[in-house]
Structure 1
Amino acid sequence: MRAIVSDRYGSLDVLQLKDIERPRPGPGEVAVRVRAAGVDPSIWHLTSGQPYLIRLLGFGLRRPRRLVPGLDLAGTIEEIGPGVTDLRPGDEVFGTADGSFAEYAIAKASRVVAKPANLAFDQAAAVPVSACTALKGLLSVQSGQRLLVIGAGGGVGSYAVQLAKARQAHVTGVCSTAKTDLVKMLGADEIVDYKRNPSPAATMSSWTPPATDRFPNCANTSRPRAHWSSSAAKAAASSSAASPAPCAPPCSRHS
């Protein structure tokens, strides 16, 4: 089968299209014919090996431990392994699998679910990691609570805004100028453009507890978003407000 492979750390130039042996599912696993695969910042981190700490966390010290990158996917079940009873060849699914940048990928049966009929494969492949990260950070959000979502226009943040609104929370989204229309369309009640207001100290004072219940931080550490992240973290630390980590384990049907 054809796959994108990376046998050393470096820029995106180290990624190569090669023919490799097709993997077979083991017990509790399924082989998915990949129709679409998602891309997020973790792909760059695992390709470049930076920050270097990730190499010490089991992803490979000198070279990537996993030859084929990719995690999010959507496709059809090609083959099932022993013990899999609730999925069948031909089922359309989406979820996560190690090595999704290939024609076929092996996934644990518990980490893929039926793809909704109203979602295209490429749309479904953009959901698993980002949406489940947002969901895990907002599980306890209740109707009427006020949230300040930092990085509201990003992968995780855009889901956080929608999920919070679905729970009838009041959402203020922090994003760049280019994302303000998107964040408004997603349902944010208020929007703050961090490019026009790079110093959050004065603005944050109107959102600190008890005015704001939660400060979900969905941004990376680049400036000026880092200033907003820092201010929100300080506000959350001074109260019972929650500030979910910017990343979480990939979702499964048991999450």
Structure 2
Amino acid sequence: MKVLIVDDEPLARRGLSQALTTFENIEVIGSASDGDQALSMIRSLNPDLVFLDIDMPGKTGIEVAATLGRDHAAEVVFVTAFDNYGEEAFSVEATDYLLKPLNLERLGQAISRAERRKAERIAIHPTHVPPNDQAQRSFILANGRSLPEDHIIWIEAAKDYALIHTSTRTHMIRATMSQLSERLGSSVVRVHRSALVAVRWVHGWKNFRRGASSLLLKDGTLVQVGPTYLLSTRKALNGLDGESR
């Protein structure tokens, strides 16, 4: 994927550019230091993915994404030190919302999500969602939109918010892991103090050294299982013991 980095801090641009060298499918084609420059470069370079800071001189990252519109070819991943712009970010159809300092695993997940979303724009048919044997239930988001519960892959805590990950985008809501676990019931399992995983999206276990364990999800995401949640997770996933393929 062709990537454009937008951040008003030179150190942040260099750090993200260096982090992106970890991923073989990424080509950084440029960087911008403010919103106006970003818009100009997006239109001239036509990147597949834009990592976009929010708090910048001139146009903010939110304003840049809103100006581009929802049908623009570039996927937008916001990268910011602030967690209070989530609702605005996802109202302009952001692919993901990453908090600084960046975590390589979360960065990889954002890239994978952008790739899937990009492919969905091109594909004739939508991404396959695992079948649901029960009547479909919906999860009502803060903006009033309805999100089918079987679209939820996993949920992670982000300070006072929760990030609900689906195959194509992430939704941010103000809620705790305990509140969401109670609300979603047996369709999710608490695997970490800051993570819930949809049972139907679990592919298997991935065991690492020193007893650390993670779950491999059907979309390729790895979610760490906290030591205190290991037993309850194994019980909830009783048919998925051992190393995944």
- Structure number with larger C-alpha Rg: 1
TM-score, structure 2 as length reference? 0.33
TM-score, structure 1 as length reference? 0.32
Q: Which has the higher strand share?
A: 2
Higher relative contact order (CA 8 A, sep 6+): 1
Q: Which has the higher helix share?
A: 2
